[in-house]
Amino acid sequence: MLRILPVLAFFIAFSRAAELKTTNEGVEISAGSLGSFMLGYPEFEPVHKAIEVKASGASATVRYEGGAECAISISKDEIGLAFKSVPADVKSWKMSVLIDIGFAKGGEWKIADKEGKFPAEKSAPPQFASLSGSSFQLKNAQGQSLSFTTPDFAFQHLTDNREWNWAIYNWFFMVPFNADNPTAKIRVTSDLASVTKLIDSFGQSIKDTFPNKLKSLEDLMADVASDTAYYAAIETPKLDRFGGLPASGEALGLKKTGFFHVEQKQDKSWLVDPDGNAFFHLGICGFAPSDDYTYVTGREGIYEWLPKTDGEFATAFRPGDGDANFSFYIANIIRKFGEPYDYETHAARMIERTRKWGFNSIGAFSPIPEKAHVQAAFPYVTSLPINAWEGVPPIPGAHEVWDPYDAATAAKIAENLARELPPRADDPLLIGYFIVNEPRYDELPRVIPSLTGGQACKLRLVEALKSKYHSIEAFNTAWQSKAATFDELAGTGLAVTTDAAKADVKAFVGEFMETYFAQIEKLFRQHDANHLLIGSRLQPVTINDEQLCRIMGRHLDVVSYNYYTFGVDTAALQRFHEWTGNKPMMLSEFFWSSPKDSGLIGGREVSTQQERGLAYRNYVEQSAALGFVIGIEWFTLIDQATTGRWFSKYNGESYNTGLVSVADRPWKDMLAEMMKTNHTIYDLLLGKRPPFAWDDPRFRAETK
């Protein structure tokens, strides 16, 4: 029996700094330099999944499995929710907000009369606040605050999601559902006036102390001489001009084609360099300054120093952004070397350094230098120009996935590839192309049925259903639907709850992915027959799909996997490899961070810089020893900015990802361990030594 609910209204008052708008994910709260927060749409207990969201500015409508609907409207400081057709089994509803891990840098929280600090280290247990109360406040290190007054009888829960390897906090409140009293209010007030100095003139946290911290300009200048001595003392193995193993081509029977390619020899996959020698790709993502840029507009007061935008440090501001984004790293190297920043000089310097450390390639998210890599014969990878920034729109709700059935999208992809690929088609230093970064193919079974805007893939799904069932009555029986016609399905979110519906969607997603990969492979080969197509840098949640892997294996040269882990799950890697038809694999993104001795917060954490290096050795060697992993890419060359990555504005990651700090200081204890692997990787591949295994419980098997 269904109950009809009256309007449930949310009254939210903000200071002028906060703005509200509806999105497909929830109500976005923009609170100036305090950051942005997403108030997720109501979730029912027991669960009735949302199957359709229509959002536009100040209003949204959410439809759920079981027939429930929620109409959301924003008027000034008020959010109104109007529920109808809610199933009788609903006992409660909740709304949640994700809170940036940056609040660990001096942030505080308060629920009712209980208060505390956001933990700098992973909380044990992860639920560090669980209690009833009608108020919640979060405050950052500046002293800026956001306060919520929740409905009466709310239960509030605050967790540290680092327990599940997600560097973020999560707050939610849950309210018992009472049909006789369905009105509730939430009041949110903000105080954004407080300003405290948090960052020193070198871009480091003022309050944190750590061994590698730069203390003065004199110390920065002295680093030039100490760097020279440090790099001169590093002994490196003899390699061919690309970084491959000399004479290995002849010994292994590999071909010299003038381009990077893959070969299978005695049940082992080899990446082969242009001279025909074995080459293990030891790449570095973000070779150019990137994640070290931070958004400074609107929070200038937290920095001890920011330069003029048109003076000596003009090149430390990110071009094209209206001087909103600044790199303390670039400012430090301007001071250190006494000259303006340019990428060619930076790339030449970094190629020399990273080769000393045993790395041999420029990885993803890196602009390609014009000359530096050519003069040094330093290989690189790049990506196809087919993301949203290149005019290729994603399917709403499916990150970085385009619609292969859409004629305009296909034409744009063809145009971009025809323009960008031919100039590099004969470049011997180019290893290959990634397609996109971390597309969420796994979201397609949920997203495609929920589309309502006339997208080509949804229309194709409807055609497939019509072709299979012939009559709308047969479809309704199989899907437990009440549609009047097949045409009606195109503009309606579809509930995928029956076994027949799930099977139909799985089959259609298989057709979708075959069309998608065949399309890109054909267009790619038209313009570049010499280089490798190295996949889409998948996440664990995406790659663990046999149907997807088998389709990719028919169209890719190499499968790329952004595999973040502690212990390496070699059984899973072997399973994915077999599903793809034994295609080679590249582990294309990973890192560990050490908050305790870097002044940075978050990421997959270990305790010291040396442990970062030991984690690297365990990961790379355990993977390389499998025989089908042909390369890795460390994320990144330079640490992320202490106040977060530029493109996330006030909510950006600020992790110890780099091989060097914001002060251009190498993390030497980590690199000492990394070099043990990098300098002897070919001995491992040829079976001359066993892979390193770190005797640490976290790294003996995958920790999820």
Flag whether pLDDT at 503 surpasses 50: yes
Flag whether pLDDT at 188 surpasses 80: no
Q: What's the full length of the chain, in residues?
A: 704
pLDDT > 90: percent of the chain: 84
pLDDT of residue 14: 34
pLDDT of residue 469: 98
pLDDT digits (tens, 9 = 90+) for 379-415: 999 999 998 889 999 999 999 999 999 999 999 999 9
pLDDT of residue 152: 85
pLDDT digits (tens, 9 = 90+) for 607-628: 999 999 999 999 999 999 999 9
Residue 660, classed as helix, strand or coil, is strand
Distance CA 542, CA 594 (A): 27
Flag whether pLDDT at 49 surpasses 70: yes
Instruction: Please report how many Cα atoms fall inside a 13 Å half-sphere around the Cα of residue 217, on the Cβ side.
Output: 6
Distance CA 596, CA 591 (A): 16
Mean residue pLDDT across the chain = 93
pLDDT digits (tens, 9 = 90+) for 64-75: 999 999 998 888
pLDDT digits (tens, 9 = 90+) for 90-118: 999 898 999 999 899 899 999 999 999 99
Cα Rg of the chain (Å, integer):
27
Flag whether pLDDT at 237 surpasses 90: yes
Flag whether pLDDT at 7 surpasses 70: no
pLDDT digits (tens, 9 = 90+) for 647-671: 999 988 999 999 999 999 999 999 9
Residue-wise over 265-289: b if at least 16 C-beta within 10 A, else e?
A: eeebbbbbbbbbbbbbbbbbbbbbb
The Cα-based distances of 383 to 83, 363, 368, 390, 576 in angstroms read 45, 10, 11, 11, 23
